[in-house]
Structure 1
């Protein structure tokens, strides 16, 4: 299917009924923000046996609520379809593990966490973060729906419950383990279609005087840096600080502070507390500064979202033109990484093995499989040194510093790295 970009403000009456009302405020006033056509779910890598069969695709059409401004995808797939068995293991990124360790150091100091404290991480993956609390003697629990990555966490000595967070799950954990002094939710707040139920689950977990820390990609940087490849079906919504504040408030939590992070191309770390624990005007100066920056960029009104689709078209055109020119010149181009964002990029740009014969990934789970939709083989990283390609297209561009170091050996034969986002760059 040829991907198309809809015009900003386009009527969405043809969208499935489930997409016609905002999941946060219930408003029917939804405007088209970005239409990337139809793709398979980004983490459903194909085995060789499945390669001859059909793939199910779903529309990747993002809308913005004209009332509360939440940017969102319709819930066309369920979390159970994506996260019961998951291909992403956080610990394969050394920079992400380092980021988690630095967060733990800061949280211990900020909140005075010790042996009497209790920390819960929701969507704890393979224990990449909580593993740093275990040797400190801080009682902790991971809540992770994917059994396969939860097993990896338990092997690290991180107690892990296999479950999705709901208000009922939160109450059960609280009843069994007590209220949490800190609840961490990194890169999951965008992954849940029931944002209200999930937020109520966070409130159920946290102590009445406790803290909630949420990291999520910042929509401001997504727009400013044309990071459209972070749009995929398991990301149900995309947050400004304003809409994050509104979502938290709907579940009984008050935003009190924010940090701007470089992770995932630009993220926010929202610090919240139960509403009853803070008084009016509790937000920090940093909260006011970030809200002002969003307003200045036009993202506190629906017209500020116009024009993004045009910028996305330019990124696609430049990348495809480079790949076609390289092929005509007899140059070889291979990929590095097989992240979810890469599959959005590959599918929207129509890049298949004729332009990118293979990509490599450090995760053995993906080796021997094919990328969803585009059917590009995923190989071990050693393949690059064996083949000595002219160019390496870096798909997880958000890990640029880490990957430039990992691929430093490409210089030995004069190879160059290609970064597609925010604009084509060859280094």
Structure 2
């Protein structure tokens, strides 16, 4: 977003923004876990979601300095088995499809590489040059793999030029769950164009707008997630950089993502557009992703879901039940803050990542404990599953808790109760 005396401007096309979809008010950073001595110094920021009627871009307009968001990061992808397995298969698929030359001559760059969850399987496939770019020093230092070249920095045009100087242009650029996080989309997209060779491919996965809309996933909206991409908006975006999307593939991660395959105009892949691209574009037009009314209706539905969840929690608390949360994530903190959840509703939050345990959630200041707390002598009656997109994995880890009579509250896409016996509607409580 560019702001001026003429109002808010679209981050993609610079058009003036008129349509406000949601306003979350002043909120703490969703990834800003803290210790008690940080409570008094906690900072709050506006969080507003706008829709661009010119290029169909759905975007957060209140941007926080990227260094504050990402240079000391709490998210480690390798702690989630579902993601480890996903990225191992991902590496095999894209290498076999696009890297035709001897692999020891190939060059692959991933920006937003996190703790190397994809870089390691790429290196295992004997890629000659594997480059990871990420600004979070505390995360990339855990990679510690001599096969992987680490650039501890934000990926932008300046970084791309450094990479070209040191390694030459690359055959493949990958970005997973990061192409929605970048403040200056215009600079980064030029950087991708520059660092790729003429036949190179840019592959990225990002949470899909369609899933967010269909399942009311407002918990995806926070300052790290600046953009909520549709194919329609991305097609318009890449055209400005002489690039095009030649294939798309839905993937199940993060409760519904899309993998996009992008190449330069005039390359071999540009002549091989798949039917999947046109099919998805037609679906999005039918669903109204090129109309502001669609997004204003989404906002109304989200508010109704919030009211339903809070009515359930209030009933449970009034009957003396204890409730905790599962999953200390950015998504959890959006839901907590939007719904107004606090210590009067939840006793604590559990999370499986050791680095978060002992810290507190932003704003609500709920203690984060290991998930073994659910098997203590005094387990909670209910667990509100913030990490509901990993429900299967959580149910396996919490099988003892469920067998002993514990119950899960699922907040999205429909509020419901799950026990060892089965599902219940909230009206049964």
TM range, smaller chain: over 0.9
- 2: CA distance between counterparts of 1:56 and 1:118? 41
The TM-score with structure 1 as length reference comes to 0.93
2:106 corresponds to which residue?
117
Task: Identify unmatched segments of 5+ residues in structure 2.
Answer: 419-429
- 1: CA distance between counterparts of 2:225 and 2:234? 14
Per-residue deviation, residues 209-258 of structure 1 (Å, max 9, x unmatched): 01110111111111111000100011111110111122222233211000
- 1: CA distance between counterparts of 2:368 and 2:46? 25
2:79 corresponds to which residue?
92
Task: Identify unmatched segments of 5+ residues in structure 1.
Answer: 1-14
1:295 corresponds to which residue?
285
1:48 corresponds to which residue?
36
1:246 corresponds to which residue?
236
- Worse-matched range after superposition: 223-232 or 110-119: 110-119
Deviation at 1:16, TM superposition (A): 7.9
Deviation at 1:301, TM superposition (A): 2.1
The yes-or-no answer on 1:39 pairing with 2:27 is yes
Distance 1:284 1:354, change over 3 A: same
2:383 corresponds to which residue?
392
Assess if the C-alpha contact under 8 Å between 2:246 and 2:269 holds in 1. Answer: no
Distance 1:142 1:299, change over 3 A: same
Deviation at 1:155, TM superposition (A): 5.2
The yes-or-no answer on 1:152 pairing with 2:142 is yes
Per-residue deviation, residues 405-426 of structure 1 (Å, max 9, x unmatched): 2222212311111110111121
2:198 corresponds to which residue?
208
Among 149, 155, 175, which residue is 1:165 paired with?
155
- 2: CA distance between counterparts of 1:17 and 1:63? 18
Deviation at 1:54, TM superposition (A): 3.9
1:422 corresponds to which residue?
413
Deviation at 1:83, TM superposition (A): 0.7
Deviation at 1:48, TM superposition (A): 2.0
- 2: CA distance between counterparts of 1:280 and 1:191? 27
- 2: CA distance between counterparts of 1:243 and 1:206? 22
Per-residue deviation, residues 342-380 of structure 1 (Å, max 9, x unmatched): 000000101001111100111222111110011111111
Distance 1:326 1:225, change over 3 A: same
- Local SS of the residue matching 2:50: strand
- Worse-matched range after superposition: 329-338 or 124-133: 329-338
- 1: CA distance between counterparts of 2:384 and 2:146? 33
Distance 1:383 1:278, change over 3 A: same
The TM-score with structure 2 as length reference comes to 0.92
Assess if the C-alpha contact under 8 Å between 1:122 and 1:144 holds in 2. Answer: yes
Per-residue deviation, residues 127-155 of structure 1 (Å, max 9, x unmatched): 01011122222120100111010101225
The yes-or-no answer on 1:57 pairing with 2:44 is yes
- Worse-matched range after superposition: 370-379 or 30-39: 30-39
1:24 corresponds to which residue?
12
- Local SS of the residue matching 2:61: coil
- 2: CA distance between counterparts of 1:70 and 1:273? 21
Q: CA RMSD in A?
A: 1.8
The yes-or-no answer on 1:137 pairing with 2:126 is yes
- 1: CA distance between counterparts of 2:213 and 2:334? 16
Distance 1:310 1:164, change over 3 A: same
Among 105, 115, 133, which residue is 1:126 paired with?
115
- 2: CA distance between counterparts of 1:16 and 1:357? 44
Deviation at 1:336, TM superposition (A): 0.9
- Local SS of the residue matching 1:306: helix
Moved over 3 A (4+): 15-19, 155-158, 278-282
